[in-house]
Amino acid sequence: MYTILVVDDSPFIVDVFVTMLERGGYRTVAAYGGEECLEILKTVTPDLILLDIMMEPVDGWETLERIKENSKTKEIPVLMLTAKQLTPTEAQEYGIYIEDYVLKPITHRELYDAIEHVLKRQQSIKSDIDLAKQSGFDTEIIAEYARLSKSIDVNKRLMKILETTYNFDDAKVRVSEEISNAIKGMEMNIKFQEDRLRQIKGNLSGTTSS
């Protein structure tokens, strides 16, 4: 059974998601703010953290940074679960740290699917890494493979959110040049990462499951 840490400064919201998760068969731990989250992580290592952004006095982004700065907690997957619309700047700045960005309100099924996607991706990458290590491949190449595999998937999911948020398919909606350039930059970065990942997969051919 997976353990999930739910972090929000609203006790009502925490209770709602704890109930949803427990119905889905997950074990839960509750934190009512960023500081409490960091305190809990000193003694508890969850399989995944659901982290809200709009919290006081320590918001979700600062909490995320402190989780990732700590060598003991940096590998814990963090899924942002928030009512705040994602901006291109946030996607570029924090995409490297998070596993997904899910907007509230959310259904039980959408929540379970998002969590399972993160956990399955993590397990798939771990299996590929183990196979590559057994085959004696360079550790730096293996690490780059793992980093790119996660990054491409996360960034593609963030791109979909941004495209929906800013109505790119609606010709009547005018998007600012700053936002347009930021999203084009993300698209180029994803393409570069995909090219590099294909190159690495060629080197690891026959050893990875993806």
Domain assignment present for 148? yes
Burial of 69 (0-12, 13-18, 19+ CB in 10 A): exposed
pLDDT at 19: 96
Amino acid at 118: V
10 Å Cβ neighbour count for 67?
Answer: 22
From the list 97, 121, 119, the residue with the least C-alpha distance to 210 is 121
From the list 31, 72, 78, the residue with the least C-alpha distance to 55 is 31
Ranges of the chain with pLDDT below 70: 168-175, 205-210
**Would you give the DSSP letter of residue 33?**
S
Domain assignment present for 69? no
40-75: pLDDT as tens digits: 999 999 999 999 999 999 999 999 999 999 999 999
Q: How many domains does the chain have?
A: 1
pLDDT at 202: 85
pLDDT at 182: 82
Domain housing 196: 122-210
Domain assignment present for 128? yes
pLDDT at 194: 96
pLDDT at 208: 47
Domain assignment present for 113? no
Bond before 88 cis per omega within 30 degrees: no
